């Protein structure tokens, strides 16, 4: 009986560690996660943030300038490119949570808008039903960082 009492917590710790390794190593395939934000049908779950159409921010700088600034913002938040590039105008990133490494995908399209740039963005969780507002907060933070860097 004493062995069982000791074995259960040890097995629980091993399961949590294995899950942490799995979530950090699970691949994010471009075919599934590299999407054009304006082509997305919003998921039925609340674990995403989508800014397209009139909800997409517009910057006065050219797409090339915004692409360079986006690269800095993404690097500062630990985002890794899955596919595309900011300079091509279409890029998808993966960002993983600190503790468990849960992956979130962020797809961005930069489009000329007059003399400036429209930024469409779709951030979503790979796992779970609710993200507790993480994706919406990330989108707001990335847009705010770009606004700070552009003086908008």
Separation CA 111–CA 62 (nearest Å)? 9
* Contact criterion met (CB below 8 Å) for 152 and 66: no
Distance CA 38, CA 41 (A): 8
pLDDT tens profile 94-146: 999 887 788 999 999 999 999 999 999 999 999 889 899 999 999 999 999 99
Q: pLDDT by residue (tens digit) across 20-49?
A: 677 777 888 999 999 999 999 999 999 999
In tens, the pLDDT along 2-20 reads: 777 888 888 888 887 887 6
Say if CB 96 and CB 104 are below 8 A apart: yes
DSSP state of 76: H
Helices (H), 26-133: 30-33, 63-76
């Amino acid at each position: 009986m004493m062995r069982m009492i000791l074995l259960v917590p040890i097995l629980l710790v091993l399961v949590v560690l294995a899950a942490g390794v799995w979530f950090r190593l699970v691949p994010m395939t471009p075919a599934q996660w590299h999407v054009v934000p304006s082509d997305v049908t919003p998921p039925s779950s609340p674990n995403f943030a989508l800014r397209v159409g009139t909800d997409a921010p517009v910057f006065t700088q050219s797409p090339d300038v915004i692409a360079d600034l986006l690269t800095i913002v993404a690097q500062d938040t630990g985002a890794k490119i899955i596919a595309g590039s900011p300079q091509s105008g279409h890029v998808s990133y993966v960002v993983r949570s600190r503790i468990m490494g849960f992956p979130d995908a962020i797809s961005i399209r930069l489009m000329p808008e007059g003399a400036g740039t429209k930024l469409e963005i779709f951030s979503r969780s790979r796992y779970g039903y609710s993200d507790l507002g993480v994706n919406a907060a990330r989108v707001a933070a990335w847009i705010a960082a770009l606004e700070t860097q552009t003086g908008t």
